Amino acid sequence: MKIEEKVHLDVVAEDMWKVMNDIPVIAKCIPGVEAFEPEGDNVYIGSIKMKVGPIAVNFKGKITVLEVDEEQRKISMRAEASDSRIGSNVKVVQTLSVIAADGGSDFAVEADVDMRGKLAQLGWGLIRPKVTSTMQEFAENLRIYMEENKEEAPETDQISSALD
């Protein structure tokens, strides 16, 4: 399943990119994330709870940062998670990007998702609205974070230097 989502924020692209390089901050903005911590170089473990249609999920898994492209303002990562209670797992390869746009920047997500188990049986018709609403809520959380932390932007090279 392919997912492409984009949201506009009234934040200049350079400032948005600085925040994008701080993966734990981004994780805090994702609705439902309950735990998130580094496990090693560019590897994070965590959990996320949410309701998708009639099913409550609690995915636990790992995210690996694969590549950071400073010039294009893109971060590629792989995520793998499972919920043993409902017998579902998901594997995602995604690219997050920041694109300069009129009056701010666009935050875009392109993902290839492989979902199996009970959650996958719900079908795209129930999953798609949850993806869209989660992205919108994430954007609002990110906007609030950016407003509250204007003076504390992280260094641009925070992740990319670790990948070198």
Specify if 128 maps to a domain. Answer: yes
Identify whether the C-beta of residue 100 lies closer than 8 Å to the C-beta of residue 117.
Answer: no
Q: How far is CA 143 from CA 10, 26, 29, 110, 128, in A?
A: 8, 11, 9, 20, 23
Question: For residue 159, is it within any domain?
Answer: no
Strands in the chain per DSSP E: 2-9, 33-40, 43-52, 55-69, 74-83, 88-101, 104-117
Residues 6+ positions from 144 with CB-CB distance below 8 Å:
none
In a domain, 160, yes or no: no
Query: Across all residues in the chain, what is the average pLDDT?
Result: 87
End-to-end CA distance of the chain: 31
27, pLDDT greater than 50 = yes
Check whether 163 has a pLDDT greater than 70.
no
Separation between Cα atoms, residue 142 and residue 111, nearest integer Å: 19
Task: Judge whether residue 157 has pLDDT over 70.
Answer: no
Strands of the 55-69 sheet, one edge to the other = 2-9, 104-117, 88-101, 74-83, 55-69, 43-52, 33-40
Report percent pLDDT > 90 for the chain: 55
Please check whether residue 74 lies inside any domain of the structure: yes
Residue 139: inside a domain, yes or no? yes
State the pLDDT at residue 130: 87
Q: Residues 113, 158, 73, CA angle at the centre, nearest 5°?
A: 55
In a domain, 158, yes or no: no
pLDDT at residue 68 is higher than 70: yes
Question: Which CATH number do you get for residue 142?
Answer: 3.30.530.20
The verdict on residue 164 lying in a domain is no
157 lies in some domain = no
Read off φ and ψ for residue 77, nearest 5 degrees: -150, 160
The average pLDDT across 17-36 equals: 91
d(CA 65, CA 63): 7
Based on the structure, what is the number of domains in the chain?
1
User: Look-up: residue for tokens 């609002």?
Assistant: 140
- Structural domain including 73 reads 2-150
